[in-house]
Amino acid sequence: MKKILIQGGQRLRGSVAVAGSTALALTAQVAALLASTGELKLANVADTMNVDTMNERLQKMGLAVTVNKPTHQLIIQSQAKLTADDLTAITSVQVASLMAGPLLARTGSVRLNEDQVPDEIIADLRRLGADVSLNDETLAIKAGRLKGSHLKLTDSDCLNTQSLIMAAVLADGITVIENAACDFEVIALANLLNKMGARVHGAGTKIVRVQGVTFLHGCDYEIAGDYLEATALMLAAAITNGDVIIENVHLQSVQGVINQLERMGCTVVVQQNGVRVLGTAVLLPADPQSLFPSTMYPELAILQLLANGKSSNAVMDQRLLDQLKKMQASVQAADGELILNGPAELSGIKVVAFDAGSALTLTLAGLAAKGLTIVENGAYLGDEFEALPAKLQSLGASLQSKNFESA
């Protein structure tokens, strides 16, 4: 079992470059299913477990995958004819949701477990002309060529938006997606698909229009720096009252983080070589600002707990909340939100992570805590982030990532 040991109280200083985005790499890997000719050549691909697992899935579906980890390059050879359609073995809702739309568009059929993907994706695939039947808790989704339609999302969800855009690129006619997610991932996906021959317009706005084409081809594409990793490092700098330059950052993707940190009293300077974050000894309380990535709300909560006053945040997984309370975090749930009372004096203790997000949150909490924090199941960090413990060490964190044999 891998554990992360953190001696809190060290100010972070220096510069560090973020890896390519794991989330964007996963989306690009899934988009490769849509190409019927050529190679998709990806650069700046992170060395993470989630990327490796997706490569294995693509290989099982008949795609040839060539990985060059030292150069962070990945080549996926398209298939003129793709027949694999069974997604029932995939346990990740994120991956199944991403794959459902493009796989249906490409093969004309998809098999899913009954509750494997959000209902909205299934309903909108129906609106695009798919026939959905349920047999022994397995959904069979079939279609000829999908038909362009007008879709109005009830929830402006990034995964749903991405899956439906990928379903629509090979549909007959125009698809309009209202209330689409405006996340950076959607913009990046549209840029990739358009390089592959698609016609996607309006990504990053609430209305996305997709003109269907008959086929997509491979292309060369560089994965942008990981804005989630950049966010984590920016928060780490603020949490430790540090002075850190984060390199390889796409400025548009972290604008919400910059706004948040400035609102809380930190200084953020956009430089030619990256984004510099200078912490402050007196943090101001502030609720999550618009454009701050919602997936990083739990990590933001650590900074909020150190602020001088009360702030609110979204409700988090109860398992994570329990671990933070073990560290003496003053957090109460009320009226569907969390109330965080600062400034908290977090205490180091043994805590347990259950996924990459919780491992990151608890690691950041350990940087702020007094004494030694031990994060069990620290290996989860490697699912989504490349060498993050080593990067924190390079900035001066008193942190070790060690393997221990299970009892």
Q: What does the angle CA 268 – CA 250 – CA 240 come to, to the nearest 5 degrees? A: 35
Q: How far apart are CA 178 and CA 151, in angstroms?
A: 6
Q: How far apart are CA 329 and CA 38, in angstroms?
A: 53
pLDDT of residue 1: 79
Task: Label residue 315 left, alpha or beta by phi (over 0 means left) and psi (-120 to 50 means alpha).
Answer: beta
> Sheet harboring 310-314: ordered strands across?
310-314, 337-341, 331-334
Q: How many CB atoms lie within 10 A of CB 326?
A: 15
CATH superfamily entry for domain 2-19+225-403: Enolpyruvate transferase domain (3.65.10.10)
pLDDT at residue 181 is higher than 50: yes
Q: How many CB atoms lie within 10 A of CB 310?
A: 13
Partners of residue 207 on adjacent β-strands: 178
**DSSP code of residue 82:** -
Q: How far apart are CA 126 and CA 120, in angstroms?
A: 10
pLDDT of residue 317: 92
Q: How far apart are CA 84 and CA 60, in angstroms?
A: 9
109 token code pair: 């059929």
Q: What is the pLDDT of residues 114-168, one digit of tens each?
A: 889 999 999 999 999 999 998 888 999 999 899 999 999 998 889 999 999 999 9
Q: How many CB atoms lie within 10 A of CB 352?
A: 18
Q: How far apart are CA 129 and CA 173, in angstroms?
A: 12
Q: What is the pLDDT of residues 47-82, one digit of tens each?
A: 999 999 999 999 999 899 999 999 999 999 998 888
Q: Looking at the domain covering 22-222, what would its CATH class be?
A: alpha beta
pLDDT of residue 84: 79
Percent of the chain whose pLDDT exceeds 70: 99
pLDDT at residue 307 is higher than 80: yes
pLDDT of residue 388: 95
pLDDT at residue 406 is higher than 80: no
Q: What is the pLDDT of residues 329-368, one digit of tens each?
A: 999 888 889 999 999 999 999 999 999 999 999 999 999 9
Mean local confidence (pLDDT), 100-121: 92
Mean local confidence (pLDDT), 188-206: 97
3-state secondary structure of 236: helix
**In angstroms, how far is CA 204 from the centroid of its own chain?**
16
Percent of the chain whose pLDDT exceeds 90: 85
pLDDT of residue 405: 65
Q: Where in the chain is the domain with CATH 3.65.10.10?
A: 2-19+225-403, 22-222
pLDDT at residue 188 is higher than 70: yes
What's at 245, amino acid-wise?
Answer: I
Q: How far apart are CA 359 and CA 402, in angstroms?
A: 14
Q: How confident is the model at residue 294 (pLDDT cuts 50, 70, 90)?
A: confident
Structural element, H or E, at residue 28: helix 22-31
pLDDT of residue 407: 44
Q: How confident is the model at residue 253 (pLDDT cuts 50, 70, 90)?
A: confident
